[in-house]
Amino acid sequence: MMIPAIDLIGGQVVRLYQGDYNQKTNYQYTVQERQQAYAKSGATVMHFVDLDGAKDSTKRQLATLKTVVNHPSMIIQVGGGVRCEDDVKQLLALGADRVVIGSLAIKKPELVTQWLKTYGCEKIVLALDIKIDAQGNKTLPTHGWIEDSGVNLEDLLSQYQDAGIKHVLCTDISRDGTLTGTNIDLYTEVCAKYPEIHWQASGGIGSLDDIKALIPTGVSGVILGRSLLEGKFTLEEAIACWPPAKEAIAEKSPC
């Protein structure tokens, strides 16, 4: 399925280049206008990132998020600075369908594993940003890609499989925000190795051909951010690229 993504700073729609707050693009749309347009175009899932909350969880954009999380026709997943269980409870109480957890999922897998058991596999999405070195090792930087966690993808996922993890948003850092195409080899590999996980591919989508190239990989969802905001193609065109049967399968994710 196509998953439109919106990043927020100060209630405004923005995009960062490869996670760099100093390389920020502001868009003139309001978040509500964009959400309404995406819903009208057929989106069934949306992804929001609270970049203020990612920097400081006490500055979470709750007033803005409250206007978008309770949507009648879309599943809403929200991330950005989830550092404790109270953050998870706060976002779920606000109305989010899924809470997206990044750095903490890498640093404290035992804690996040317990949340999976407490809240259910449909309520938690792991956001794993991957750095691939010359030897093909998939390491997982944290905190805006600044810190080297020393953890690789395979070791981390082995800790989450028994807890029944279902949703993983996977970004190749080198492709994020570039519109230069996505990492087909990466998604082909992880989907084959972990078929029980519903993978959301993120980073580098710049054309309809980039979307079509993901179809045989096995990913369940495709995150579309900058490409939609800058009109590289429409959401209707993107959805039309995706096989209907695959879309239906992706929406069914029982724990």
By annotation, the residues acting in catalysis are 7, 129
Handedness of CA 86, 88, 19, 40 (dihedral sign): negative
Structure tokens at 60: 């979470």
Paired tokens of 186: 């990466």
H-helix segments, the chain: 31-41, 51-55, 62-69, 85-94, 103-107, 109-119, 153-161, 184-193, 208-214, 226-229, 235-241, 244-251
Residues in CB range of 34: below 8 A, 6 or more apart? 4, 6, 13, 229
Residue 45: its H or E element: strand 45-50
Distances (CA, A) of 107 to 59, 79, 102, 125, 249: 22, 16, 9, 15, 32
How much is the CA Rg of the chain, to the nearest whole Å?
A: 17
- The helix (H) or strand (E) run that includes residue 49 is strand 45-50
Q: Is the dihedral of CA 82, 84, 86, 88 positive or negative?
A: positive
Classify residue 217 by its DSSP letter. G
CB 217 within 8 A of CB 187: yes
